[in-house]
Amino acid sequence: MNIIEPLQIAIEELSKLPTIGRKTAQRLALYILKSDKDSVANLIKAVTDLKEKIKFCSVCFNLSVDDTCEVCKSPKRDKSIICVVEEASDVIAIESTNEYKGLYHVLGGVLSPLSGKGVESLKIAELVLRVNEPDVKEIVLALNPDTEGETTSLYLTRRLKPLNKRITRLPTGLPLGGDLEFTDHATVGRAILNRIEL
């Protein structure tokens, strides 16, 4: 196959993106090639701005334009409660519910020795410092309910327990508004095992 070099390079770069295969990359590259100069410039600017304008909040490590993020700056937020999440994408998920009025703390991953993620590589020391502030009353652990997430929650609970703050976690089990009959068997099975007293 003989593709001219600039096009080839563009295809290679695009196909490095997640969920983009070679064919899609080729289609995207050709589409960009056909677009007018202005829209290409806009695209380039949007991409570079991502890298240049967005940084991590110095308090909670959420995505932010300024040194501290919108959530941390807002006077409307309840400063006594901190919700601990894995990634910034989880903040977006919780924010879109409009049910949570407290602050966040983005760990930047979970404990996973296999992929080289330990306590040092996560923002755990920073979390402990924040929780130590007298204003903070409650910590909500909102990590994914998989093996690594659960273990990280266990670890954090042990680390934070001596600080004498209320520690809560999101419950797992049946989805709200879902049908029991359509929920996958493994989830229903676990929900039965972990049933709660009323």
Partner 1 sequence: MILNNIELTNFRLHINTVLNFSDKLNYIVGGNGQGKTTILEAIYYLCTTKNLNQSPDSEALTFNESYFELTGKFKDLTEEKSRLVYSVETNKKTCFINEKQFYKASLIIGKFPVVTLTQSDHSITFGSPADRRKFIDSVISQSSETYLKILLDYNKTLRQRSSLLSLLKESREKSLFDEFDAWTETLIKTGAEIVKHRINFLNEFSEYVKNSFVKIMEGSESPEIEYYFLGDNKTDKVEENFRREIKNRRNDELIRATNLVGPHRDDFVFKISGFELRKYGSQGQHKTFQIALRFGEFFFLKDVLGKTPVFLMDDIFGELDTYRSQKISGYLREVGQAFITMTDFNNIESLHISEKDKIIKVEKGAVAYA
Question: What are φ and ψ of residue 14, in 5° steps?
Answer: -65, -35
Report, in Å, the least distance between residue 15 CB and partner 1. 21
Q: Measure the CA angle with vertex 109, ends 177 and 117; round to 5°.
A: 140
- Retrieve residue 51's tokens: 């890298």
Beta carbon nearer to partner 1, 6 or 189: 189
Q: Kindly write out the interface string for residues 22-61 of this chain, putting x where it contacts partner 1 by CB under 8 A and - elsewhere.
A: ----------------------------------------
Q: Tokens 């309910």, residue?
A: 145
Asked if 151 is part of the footprint of partner 1 (rule: CB under 8 A), the reply reads yes
Query: Contact between 129 and partner 1 (CB under 8 A)?
Result: no
Closest CA relative to residue 92, chosen from 119, 70, 66: 70
Element (H, E) at 153: helix 147-160
Q: Which residues contact 188 (CB under 8 A, 6 or more apart)?
A: 174, 180
Site string for partner 1, 82-111 (x = CB under 8 A): -----------------------------x
**Binding partner 1 by CB under 8 A: which of 10, 11, 102, 148?**
148
Query: Of the listed pieces 31-39, 93-101, 143-151, 172-180, which binds partner 1 according to CB under 8 A?
Result: 143-151
Which token pair is 83?
Answer: 């919700």
If the CB atoms of residues 70 and 150 are measured against partner 1, the closer one turns out to be 150
Q: Per the structure block, which two tokens stand in for 4?
A: 């001219």
If one counts every other C-beta atom within 10 angstroms of the C-beta of residue 93, the result is 11
Give the residues lining the site for partner 1 (CB under 8 A).
111-114, 118-120, 146-148, 150-152, 154-155, 158-159, 184-186, 188-190, 193
